[in-house]
Amino acid sequence: MNRRNPFLPALLFFASVFVFLCAAVMPAEGGEKARQGNRADSTQKPPEPSPRQGEKFEVTRHTLKTAGGDLLSYTATVGFLRLVDESGKPKADIFFTAYTAQGQPEGRPVTFAFNGGPGASSIWLHMGVAGPVLAKAGQNAPGCRSVVSNPLSWLVYTDLVFIDPVGTGFSRAIPAENAKQYFNTQTDISSTGDFIQLYVDRFGRWRCPKYLAGESYGGMRAAGLLQYLYENAGMEIDGMILISPALELKMIHQDISTDLPFLLFLPSYTATAWHHKKTGPEFRAGLRDVLAEAETWAVGQYLPALALGDRISSPDTDRIATKLSSLTGLSEQMIRNRNLRITRHQFVNELLSSQGLVLGLMDGRTTQWGKGGGSIDDPTMVTTIVSYTGAFNEYVHDALHFSPGIPYIFLSQEANSAWDWGSSGDAALESIRGAFNRSTRFKILVAAGYFDLDIPYFAATYAMSHLGIDPKLAGNIKLRFYSGGHMFYIDGETMEEFSREVAGFFADIAGR
């Protein structure tokens, strides 16, 4: 006769408890990559969320030895967030690379960074100055497609999210044939803003200070985002870092009916002519002294002469042409023939034409034979494109373990040529003014290169002095100019100078 074991119910109970506890502490299958790291650190952020339907990203752990000798642990999250309309229909997959420092106090800043173009991916800021790894510029540099650690990375001060707008990088419209609807300033700002709102929500960054970093046209995008995020998401941006920024079209679009751009480009012409030893003998002193005189003359003498238009007298024309010739290295006759107005394309093709050389637009110190090509063939672009894209594709595959199976579009010629500026091309200053009016804590760091013939550095000076904000907030704006071109940071010494300014920018914020 079988007798029932009196201890069987208790054994079954304890067995079920044991199984439950084991299941609770065991990591889910495939989740260890995202969870590994310093679990003992009580300040470490929780694991990043898993992708939702249509999204795809990978999370990896890394360390960085900083310039101060400290070891910084961080996670890299790379992949797509999907934008959808009100009905849930997919609109676009936005590619991003995010770096989050571990073991940091709660409320650490997060900075959203992007380049310009329009049509540029974020590869230049990512791999050239701000990210935790760098790609060395130069076609012929040994190992030019490899990355090296960046001890000056902004990750020391702020978490980073590099954004590739739709049609650039791995970001794509859904369906693909809808890409053109994103090739305009208004939609570009709204789609980037929607991504930022989505990222902040998905990764729990609502209470963190938020900053924007934009290069070139990215400056215009950043300015537009200030107003868009405030109006559509109730999100306030605490500050911006603008690099060689294009802020309003009226400052850079050279047209015979508009005097301002010719004024703003002149100091950059002078810097370039000075470098090539083409300025007059009275302008052979140090670069900054020469530029100070060029700026003063441009505002006090050149602009009033331009404002006269066809009413200017012959003696005044001769006087202005003579001075312009000394400042730019161009002949007086050429200057007279062009009504005292020299476009950047005329300048880059004429200054060294006797030597058969044309200047680079991105950096007037560079030259190439024959006629200048498009932006993609600019000497500075040539030295970065091969290095940066090769290094990035290898890095994202091998180190970040992400392979989307589509080409990485570093610069979309389609987007650039088809871009519709609309009325948003001249609203940047108003948007920045609004940010200052809403918060006295808002800060801006503007940096540019003296030899940039694409976006003149003097335009940044003009823009920041025409905001119309409370004079008490003047200290919230810093302007810093460097001996470089559009991507001035590709020079090692200049990058160190700029990195110190970035460190000071975030240190000031932390001390407020």
Alpha-carbon span 73 to 262, nearest angstrom: 48
Task: Provide the pLDDT for residue 141.
Answer: 52
Q: Please, which residues have CB within 8 angstroms of residue 444's CB and are 6 or more apart in sequence? A: 239, 240, 241, 242, 432, 464, 476, 477, 478
- Helix intervals (H) in 143-259: 185-202, 218-233, 249-252
- Gap between the Cα atoms of 415 and 485, Å rounded: 24
Neighbour tally for 232: CB within 10 Å: 12
Low-confidence ranges of the chain (pLDDT < 70): 1-48, 50, 53, 137-145, 372-374, 424-425, 510-512
- The contacts of residue 320 (CB under 8 Å, 6+ apart) are 301, 302, 305, 312, 340
H/E stretch holding 479? strand 477-482
On whether the CB atoms of residues 195 and 163 are closer than 8 A, the answer is yes
CB 458 within 8 A of CB 268: yes
Domain ranges, ordered by start, for the chain: 36-250+384-510, 255-342
Helix intervals (H) in 172-299: 185-202, 218-233, 249-252, 260-275, 287-297
DSSP 363: -
CATH code for the part of the protein at 36-250+384-510: 3.40.50.1820
Cα–Cα distances in Å, from 359 out to 148, 168, 272, 345, 386? 31, 27, 9, 9, 21
CB 315 within 8 A of CB 305: no
What is the distance in angstroms between the CA of the first residue and the CA of the last residue of the chain? 83
Residue 106 pLDDT: 82
Beta strands in 329-465 (DSSP E): 357-359, 367-369, 443-449
Rg of the chain over Cα atoms, rounded to whole angstroms, equals: 27
Contact 140, 382 (CB under 8 A): no
Helices (H), 141-215: 185-202
Tokens of 507: 């240190």
- Supply the pLDDT for residue 512: 57
Backbone φ and ψ for 253, nearest 5 degrees, come out as: -85, 105
Measured torsion, CA atoms of residues 129, 187, 190, 416, in degrees rounded to the nearest 10: 0
What pLDDT, on a 0 to 100 scale, did the predictor assign at position 54? 72
Nearest to 452 by CA among 390, 358, 360: 360
Q: Which residues contact 279 (CB under 8 A, 6 or more apart)?
A: 270, 273, 290, 326, 327, 328, 329
